[in-house]
C-alpha cells in the first residue's frame, strides 16, 4: 500500500490498520455481540502486555495505543468472510474472482440492525483493495524492483515485497496526505480519509516518472473519478462499497 507519513505534530501517532477475519456465520450472533466479544480479546491482550492507555472503541474497530520508541495506534477490525452470493455479486461487477473472494462482512455500530441478528451486514474488501493497488503500482515499480535484484537484495523481481515499491504515485499520495493533515489540522474529522486519497490518486496516476508531474497531473485528474451519485468513490474491489 501507499507509505505512511510522519505525524504532523510531535505529539501525534502513526496509525496502522489490521483486519481479523473470524470463521463464523453472520447469523451466529449480533454485530454488537461480535464486536464486544472481539473487544474483550483485545482488552485482554492490552492488559497482558502492560499497555497503560485504555483500549478505545470506534464505530468499526478497536484501537490499541502503543508507546514504544515510536508512538502509534493500531485499529483492528473484526469481520466475517463474506458469503458466496455476495462474492458472486461482486464478481458480476467485473472484479476479478481472486479479489472478490477477499470480501468481508464488517461490524459497524451505526448500522440500523447493529443489535439484531441479520445477514445484512456492511460489506467491505480492504484486502482486495490492497491487491488492486499493488497491481496499479507494479508496472511503474519494475525498474525499482529490477535494481534491487541487481543489487542482490532479492533473488527475483517476484520476491520484492510491495513495501519496497517506491514510485511517484506513492510519493504523490504522501504529499496529498500531508496537505490534508495541514489543511485540516484544526478540524481533522472534516478532512478526506486516507483510503479516499489513495483510491483517487491511484486511478488518476498515468505513469509520470517525476514527482512534480505526477503530483500535478494526478491532482488535476482525480475529480474525474468521483461519481455524481453514490457510491461516490467506489472500492475497485467491491464497487458497491462507497
pLDDT, block means (10 residues), the chain with 242 residues: 54 80 95 97 95 94 82 92 97 97 97 97 96 92 90 92 88 95 93 96 94 96 96 96 94
What distance in Å separates the CA atoms of residue 17 and residue 23, rounded to the nearest whole number? 20
What distance in Å separates the CA atoms of residue 192 and residue 199, rounded to the nearest whole number? 11
| Cβ contact 107:225 at 8 Å | no
- State residue 162's pLDDT score: 82
| Cβ contact 236:199 at 8 Å | yes
The size of the chain, in residues, is 242
In three-state secondary structure terms, 14 is: strand
- State residue 46's pLDDT score: 95
- State residue 10's pLDDT score: 47
Domain boundaries, the chain: 14-124, 129-225
- State residue 33's pLDDT score: 97
Which runs of E-coded beta strand occur in the chain? Answer: 14-22, 56-57, 62-67, 71-81, 104-106, 122-124
**Which has the closest alpha carbon to 79: 108, 61, 105?**
105
What distance in Å separates the CA atoms of residue 45 and residue 65, rounded to the nearest whole number? 12
Amino acid at each position: 500500500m501507499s507509505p505512511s507519513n510522519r505525524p504532523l505534530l510531535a505529539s501525534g501517532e502513526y496509525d496502522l490498520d489490521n483486519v481479523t477475519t473470524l470463521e463464523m456465520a453472520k447469523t451466529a450472533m449480533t454485530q454488537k455481540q461480535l464486536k464486544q466479544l472481539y473487544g474483550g480479546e483485545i482488552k485482554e491482550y492490552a492488559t497482558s502486555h502492560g499497555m497503560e492507555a485504555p483500549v478505545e472503541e470506534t464505530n468499526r474497530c478497536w484501537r490499541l495505543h502503543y508507546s514504544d520508541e515510536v508512538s502509534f495506534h493500531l485499529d483492528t477490525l473484526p469481520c466475517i468472510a463474506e458469503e458466496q452470493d455476495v462474492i458472486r455479486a461482486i464478481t458480476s461487477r467485473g472484479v476479478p474472482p481472486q479479489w472478490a473472494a477477499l470480501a468481508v462482512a464488517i461490524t459497524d455500530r451505526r448500522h440500523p440492525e447493529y443489535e439484531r441478528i441479520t445477514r445484512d451486514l456492511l460489506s467491505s474488501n480492504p484486502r482486495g483493495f490492497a491487491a488492486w493497488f499493488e497491481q496499479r503500482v507494479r508496472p511503474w515499480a519494475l525498474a525499482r524492483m529490477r535494481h534491487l535484484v541487481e543489487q542482490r537484495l532479492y533473488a527475483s523481481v517476484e520476491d520484492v515485497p510491495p513495501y519496497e515499491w517506491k514510485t511517484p504515485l506513492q510519493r504523490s499520495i504522501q504529499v496529498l496526505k500531508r496537505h490534508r493533515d495541514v489543511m485540516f489540522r484544526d478540524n481533522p474529522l472534516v478532512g478526506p480519509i486516507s483510503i479516499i486519497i489513495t483510491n483517487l490518486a491511484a486511478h488518476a496516476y498515468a505513469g509520470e516518472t517525476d514527482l512534480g508531474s505526477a503530483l500535478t497531473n494526478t491532482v488535476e485528474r482525480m475529480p474525474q473519478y468521483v461519481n455524481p451519485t453514490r457510491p461516490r468513490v467506489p472500492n475497485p474491489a467491491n464497487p458497491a462499497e462507497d
